[in-house]
Amino acid sequence: MNEVSRVWVPPWVLDIRGTVECLHRGSGDPAMRYAPDGSIWRACHTPDGPGTLRLLAVPEGVRGTGWGPGGPWLVEHFPELIGALDDPEELRTDDPVVNGLVQRARGFRICRTGRVWEALVPAILEQKVVGTEAFRAWRYLLRRFGEPAPGPVAASMRVPPPPQVWAQIPSWEWHRSGIEPVRMRTIRGATSMDVERHPDKLTVLRGVGPWTAAETRMRAVGDPDAVPVGDFHIPRVVGQTLAGSPVDDAGMLELLEPFAGQRGRVVRLCVRYGEWPQRKGPRMSVRDYRSL
Protein backbone atom coordinates (compact mmCIF):
# COMPACT_ATOMS: atom_id res chain seq x y z
CA MET A 1 0.00 0.00 0.00
CA ASN A 2 1.68 3.23 -1.15
CA GLU A 3 1.79 5.89 1.54
CA VAL A 4 3.16 9.43 1.46
CA SER A 5 3.54 11.71 4.45
CA ARG A 6 4.96 15.04 5.56
CA VAL A 7 4.76 17.40 8.51
CA TRP A 8 3.84 21.04 8.09
CA VAL A 9 4.48 23.57 10.86
CA PRO A 10 1.82 26.30 10.89
CA PRO A 11 3.25 29.69 11.93
CA TRP A 12 0.20 30.43 14.06
CA VAL A 13 -2.20 28.72 16.44
CA LEU A 14 -4.45 26.36 14.49
CA ASP A 15 -7.80 24.77 15.32
CA ILE A 16 -7.72 21.96 12.75
CA ARG A 17 -11.15 20.52 13.44
CA GLY A 18 -12.83 23.90 13.64
CA THR A 19 -11.29 24.87 10.32
CA VAL A 20 -12.38 21.79 8.36
CA GLU A 21 -15.65 20.88 10.08
CA CYS A 22 -17.66 22.67 7.38
CA LEU A 23 -16.60 19.83 5.06
CA HIS A 24 -18.26 17.19 7.23
CA ARG A 25 -21.69 16.34 5.82
CA GLY A 26 -23.45 15.03 8.86
CA SER A 27 -23.18 11.89 10.94
CA GLY A 28 -21.99 8.93 8.90
CA ASP A 29 -20.49 11.01 6.07
CA PRO A 30 -18.76 8.37 3.91
CA ALA A 31 -16.13 10.88 2.75
CA MET A 32 -14.98 12.19 6.13
CA ARG A 33 -14.30 10.68 9.54
CA TYR A 34 -13.16 11.85 12.96
CA ALA A 35 -11.06 9.14 14.62
CA PRO A 36 -10.75 8.52 18.39
CA ASP A 37 -7.05 9.46 18.28
CA GLY A 38 -7.94 12.98 17.12
CA SER A 39 -7.04 12.42 13.48
CA ILE A 40 -9.29 13.56 10.66
CA TRP A 41 -9.74 11.39 7.57
CA ARG A 42 -10.97 12.72 4.24
CA ALA A 43 -11.54 10.89 0.95
CA CYS A 44 -11.34 13.00 -2.19
CA HIS A 45 -11.23 12.71 -5.97
CA THR A 46 -8.14 14.75 -6.91
CA PRO A 47 -6.77 15.77 -10.32
CA ASP A 48 -4.63 12.61 -10.08
CA GLY A 49 -7.46 10.28 -9.06
CA PRO A 50 -8.96 9.00 -5.80
CA GLY A 51 -7.09 9.52 -2.57
CA THR A 52 -7.39 9.52 1.19
CA LEU A 53 -5.84 12.07 3.55
CA ARG A 54 -5.27 11.74 7.29
CA LEU A 55 -4.58 14.88 9.30
CA LEU A 56 -3.07 14.53 12.76
CA ALA A 57 -1.66 17.12 15.15
CA VAL A 58 1.83 16.06 16.27
CA PRO A 59 4.37 17.83 18.50
CA GLU A 60 6.21 19.16 15.44
CA GLY A 61 3.08 20.52 13.71
CA VAL A 62 0.48 18.80 11.54
CA ARG A 63 1.18 15.50 9.81
CA GLY A 64 -0.61 14.80 6.56
CA THR A 65 -0.58 11.23 5.25
CA GLY A 66 -2.02 10.19 1.92
CA TRP A 67 -2.94 6.98 0.13
CA GLY A 68 -4.03 6.13 -3.38
CA PRO A 69 -3.27 7.80 -6.73
CA GLY A 70 -4.43 11.13 -5.29
CA GLY A 71 -2.49 10.74 -2.04
CA PRO A 72 0.56 12.80 -3.12
CA TRP A 73 -1.71 15.63 -4.33
CA LEU A 74 -3.60 15.66 -1.04
CA VAL A 75 -0.40 15.68 0.99
CA GLU A 76 1.07 18.47 -1.12
CA HIS A 77 -1.99 20.67 -0.69
CA PHE A 78 -3.15 19.87 2.84
CA PRO A 79 -1.74 23.11 4.34
CA GLU A 80 -4.17 25.02 2.09
CA LEU A 81 -6.97 22.74 3.30
CA ILE A 82 -6.32 23.83 6.89
CA GLY A 83 -5.98 27.53 6.20
CA ALA A 84 -2.43 28.24 5.01
CA LEU A 85 -3.70 30.68 2.37
CA ASP A 86 -6.18 32.38 4.69
CA ASP A 87 -5.38 35.62 6.53
CA PRO A 88 -7.78 36.34 9.39
CA GLU A 89 -6.01 39.65 10.01
CA GLU A 90 -7.60 41.01 6.84
CA LEU A 91 -10.71 41.46 8.96
CA ARG A 92 -10.01 44.85 10.53
CA THR A 93 -12.79 46.42 12.54
CA ASP A 94 -13.51 48.36 15.69
CA ASP A 95 -16.87 46.62 16.10
CA PRO A 96 -16.80 45.23 19.66
CA VAL A 97 -19.08 42.27 18.88
CA VAL A 98 -17.04 41.10 15.91
CA ASN A 99 -13.78 41.63 17.79
CA GLY A 100 -15.20 39.48 20.56
CA LEU A 101 -15.97 36.74 18.04
CA VAL A 102 -12.43 36.99 16.67
CA GLN A 103 -11.01 36.49 20.17
CA ARG A 104 -13.19 33.42 20.68
CA ALA A 105 -12.16 32.05 17.29
CA ARG A 106 -8.46 31.75 18.06
CA GLY A 107 -7.02 29.17 15.67
CA PHE A 108 -10.02 29.16 13.33
CA ARG A 109 -9.28 29.75 9.64
CA ILE A 110 -11.15 29.43 6.36
CA CYS A 111 -10.31 26.17 4.64
CA ARG A 112 -9.65 25.66 0.95
CA THR A 113 -10.12 22.22 -0.62
CA GLY A 114 -9.18 23.17 -4.17
CA ARG A 115 -11.95 20.82 -5.42
CA VAL A 116 -14.95 22.76 -6.69
CA TRP A 117 -17.09 19.83 -7.85
CA GLU A 118 -16.93 18.07 -4.48
CA ALA A 119 -18.16 21.26 -2.81
CA LEU A 120 -20.82 22.01 -5.42
CA VAL A 121 -22.68 18.67 -5.37
CA PRO A 122 -23.47 18.61 -1.63
CA ALA A 123 -24.38 22.31 -1.78
CA ILE A 124 -26.97 21.48 -4.45
CA LEU A 125 -28.24 18.58 -2.35
CA GLU A 126 -28.70 21.01 0.55
CA GLN A 127 -30.77 23.54 -1.42
CA LYS A 128 -33.89 24.57 0.52
CA VAL A 129 -34.01 21.43 2.67
CA VAL A 130 -33.07 20.51 6.21
CA GLY A 131 -29.58 19.12 6.65
CA THR A 132 -30.86 15.69 7.68
CA GLU A 133 -32.51 15.19 4.28
CA ALA A 134 -29.43 16.32 2.33
CA PHE A 135 -27.01 14.27 4.43
CA ARG A 136 -29.15 11.16 3.96
CA ALA A 137 -28.99 11.55 0.19
CA TRP A 138 -25.23 12.22 0.26
CA ARG A 139 -24.65 9.02 2.26
CA TYR A 140 -26.81 6.93 -0.05
CA LEU A 141 -25.31 8.21 -3.30
CA LEU A 142 -21.70 7.90 -2.11
CA ARG A 143 -22.26 4.38 -0.81
CA ARG A 144 -23.82 3.38 -4.13
CA PHE A 145 -21.56 5.23 -6.58
CA GLY A 146 -18.42 6.29 -4.74
CA GLU A 147 -15.43 3.98 -4.87
CA PRO A 148 -13.84 2.57 -1.72
CA ALA A 149 -11.38 5.00 -0.19
CA PRO A 150 -7.75 3.86 -0.48
CA GLY A 151 -5.60 3.28 2.58
CA PRO A 152 -6.17 1.80 6.04
CA VAL A 153 -9.66 3.24 6.36
CA ALA A 154 -13.04 2.06 7.55
CA ALA A 155 -14.73 -0.13 4.94
CA SER A 156 -17.60 2.35 4.74
CA MET A 157 -15.46 5.28 3.56
CA ARG A 158 -16.04 6.31 -0.03
CA VAL A 159 -14.42 8.69 -2.52
CA PRO A 160 -17.06 11.05 -3.96
CA PRO A 161 -17.62 10.29 -7.65
CA PRO A 162 -16.25 12.54 -10.42
CA PRO A 163 -18.72 14.49 -12.62
CA GLN A 164 -19.02 11.82 -15.31
CA VAL A 165 -20.26 9.30 -12.75
CA TRP A 166 -22.82 11.70 -11.29
CA ALA A 167 -24.13 12.34 -14.82
CA GLN A 168 -24.81 8.63 -15.30
CA ILE A 169 -26.70 7.91 -12.06
CA PRO A 170 -30.11 6.49 -13.06
CA SER A 171 -33.21 8.46 -12.14
CA TRP A 172 -34.51 5.65 -9.90
CA GLU A 173 -31.36 5.84 -7.79
CA TRP A 174 -31.88 9.56 -7.27
CA HIS A 175 -35.41 8.74 -6.17
CA ARG A 176 -34.16 6.11 -3.73
CA SER A 177 -31.75 8.66 -2.28
CA GLY A 178 -34.63 10.99 -1.55
CA ILE A 179 -33.67 13.62 -4.13
CA GLU A 180 -36.45 15.08 -6.26
CA PRO A 181 -36.01 15.71 -10.04
CA VAL A 182 -35.15 19.42 -9.68
CA ARG A 183 -31.94 18.86 -7.73
CA MET A 184 -31.13 15.80 -9.84
CA ARG A 185 -31.34 17.91 -13.02
CA THR A 186 -29.23 20.66 -11.45
CA ILE A 187 -26.40 18.25 -10.66
CA ARG A 188 -26.62 16.60 -14.06
CA GLY A 189 -26.62 20.01 -15.76
CA ALA A 190 -23.60 21.15 -13.77
CA THR A 191 -21.53 18.42 -15.42
CA SER A 192 -21.64 20.49 -18.63
CA MET A 193 -19.16 22.99 -17.17
CA ASP A 194 -15.58 22.49 -16.06
CA VAL A 195 -16.32 23.96 -12.65
CA GLU A 196 -12.75 23.46 -11.46
CA ARG A 197 -11.64 26.09 -13.99
CA HIS A 198 -14.63 28.39 -13.55
CA PRO A 199 -15.52 28.70 -9.85
CA ASP A 200 -16.51 32.35 -10.46
CA LYS A 201 -19.19 31.41 -13.03
CA LEU A 202 -21.25 28.86 -11.11
CA THR A 203 -24.43 30.94 -11.22
CA VAL A 204 -24.64 30.57 -15.01
CA LEU A 205 -25.60 26.96 -14.35
CA ARG A 206 -29.34 26.37 -14.26
CA GLY A 207 -30.48 25.83 -10.69
CA VAL A 208 -27.32 27.26 -9.11
CA GLY A 209 -28.03 30.57 -7.40
CA PRO A 210 -26.09 32.87 -5.06
CA TRP A 211 -26.59 30.61 -2.02
CA THR A 212 -25.21 27.50 -3.73
CA ALA A 213 -22.33 29.42 -5.31
CA ALA A 214 -21.36 30.99 -1.98
CA GLU A 215 -21.49 27.67 -0.12
CA THR A 216 -19.29 26.14 -2.82
CA ARG A 217 -16.77 28.97 -3.06
CA MET A 218 -16.36 29.21 0.70
CA ARG A 219 -15.20 25.61 0.88
CA ALA A 220 -13.46 25.11 -2.46
CA VAL A 221 -11.56 28.36 -2.96
CA GLY A 222 -11.59 29.73 0.58
CA ASP A 223 -13.53 32.88 -0.37
CA PRO A 224 -13.71 35.05 2.80
CA ASP A 225 -16.42 37.24 1.27
CA ALA A 226 -18.86 34.48 0.24
CA VAL A 227 -22.28 35.24 1.73
CA PRO A 228 -24.97 32.52 1.40
CA VAL A 229 -27.97 34.74 0.66
CA GLY A 230 -31.20 32.75 0.82
CA ASP A 231 -30.36 30.60 3.83
CA PHE A 232 -33.12 29.92 6.36
CA HIS A 233 -30.96 30.18 9.47
CA ILE A 234 -27.94 32.36 8.70
CA PRO A 235 -29.62 35.81 8.51
CA ARG A 236 -31.30 35.10 11.83
CA VAL A 237 -28.01 34.13 13.47
CA VAL A 238 -26.12 37.08 12.00
CA GLY A 239 -28.87 39.47 13.09
CA GLN A 240 -29.10 38.00 16.58
CA THR A 241 -25.33 38.15 17.02
CA LEU A 242 -24.60 41.56 15.52
CA ALA A 243 -27.82 43.46 16.26
CA GLY A 244 -29.57 41.53 19.03
CA SER A 245 -32.50 40.29 16.93
CA PRO A 246 -33.04 38.13 13.82
CA VAL A 247 -33.10 39.80 10.40
CA ASP A 248 -33.87 38.80 6.82
CA ASP A 249 -31.42 38.67 3.91
CA ALA A 250 -31.61 42.40 3.26
CA GLY A 251 -30.99 43.12 6.92
CA MET A 252 -28.07 40.71 6.99
CA LEU A 253 -26.43 42.33 3.98
CA GLU A 254 -26.81 45.74 5.61
CA LEU A 255 -25.19 44.51 8.82
CA LEU A 256 -22.34 42.92 6.84
CA GLU A 257 -21.68 45.94 4.61
CA PRO A 258 -18.94 47.39 6.89
CA PHE A 259 -17.02 44.13 6.48
CA ALA A 260 -16.93 44.08 2.66
CA GLY A 261 -14.27 41.67 1.48
CA GLN A 262 -14.57 39.67 4.69
CA ARG A 263 -18.34 39.25 4.96
CA GLY A 264 -18.18 35.47 4.63
CA ARG A 265 -15.69 35.30 7.49
CA VAL A 266 -18.02 37.32 9.70
CA VAL A 267 -20.87 34.97 8.77
CA ARG A 268 -18.76 31.95 9.73
CA LEU A 269 -17.79 33.60 13.02
CA CYS A 270 -21.42 34.35 13.82
CA VAL A 271 -22.56 30.81 13.01
CA ARG A 272 -19.76 29.12 14.93
CA TYR A 273 -19.24 31.49 17.87
CA GLY A 274 -22.22 33.83 17.86
CA GLU A 275 -25.69 33.81 19.39
CA TRP A 276 -28.47 31.75 17.87
CA PRO A 277 -32.00 33.16 18.27
CA GLN A 278 -34.45 31.33 20.44
CA ARG A 279 -36.36 28.80 18.37
CA LYS A 280 -40.03 29.62 17.84
CA GLY A 281 -42.46 27.29 16.14
CA PRO A 282 -41.90 23.78 14.79
CA ARG A 283 -38.74 22.64 13.07
CA MET A 284 -38.75 22.25 9.29
CA SER A 285 -39.87 18.74 8.48
CA VAL A 286 -37.70 16.18 6.72
CA ARG A 287 -39.23 15.32 3.37
CA ASP A 288 -39.02 11.84 1.93
CA TYR A 289 -39.65 11.53 -1.81
CA ARG A 290 -38.86 7.81 -1.71
CA SER A 291 -42.42 6.96 -0.70
CA LEU A 292 -43.98 8.90 -3.57
pLDDT at 130: 79
Per-residue tens of pLDDT for the chain, all 292 residues? 689 999 999 999 999 999 999 999 998 999 999 999 999 999 999 999 999 999 999 999 999 999 999 999 999 999 999 999 999 999 999 999 999 999 999 999 999 999 999 999 999 999 988 778 999 999 999 999 999 999 999 999 999 999 999 999 999 999 999 999 999 999 999 999 999 999 999 999 999 999 999 999 999 999 999 999 999 899 999 999 999 999 999 999 999 999 999 999 999 999 999 999 986 654 445 555 445 4
pLDDT at 278: 81
Half-sphere exposure of residue 94, counting CA atoms within 13 Å on the CB side? 0
Which residues neighbour 54 within 8 Å (Cβ) at sequence distance 6 or greater?
39, 40, 41, 63, 64, 65, 66, 151
pLDDT at 2: 86
pLDDT at 265: 98
- Confirm whether pTM is higher than 0.85: yes
Distance CA 62, CA 39 (A): 10
CA distances from 87 to 92, 247, 270 (A): 11, 28, 18
Distance CA 271, CA 226 (A): 14
Residue 62 · residue 10 · CB < 8 Å: yes
pLDDT at 184: 97
pLDDT at 152: 97
Of 126, 152, 97, whose CA–CA distance to 233 is shortest? 126
pLDDT at 287: 52
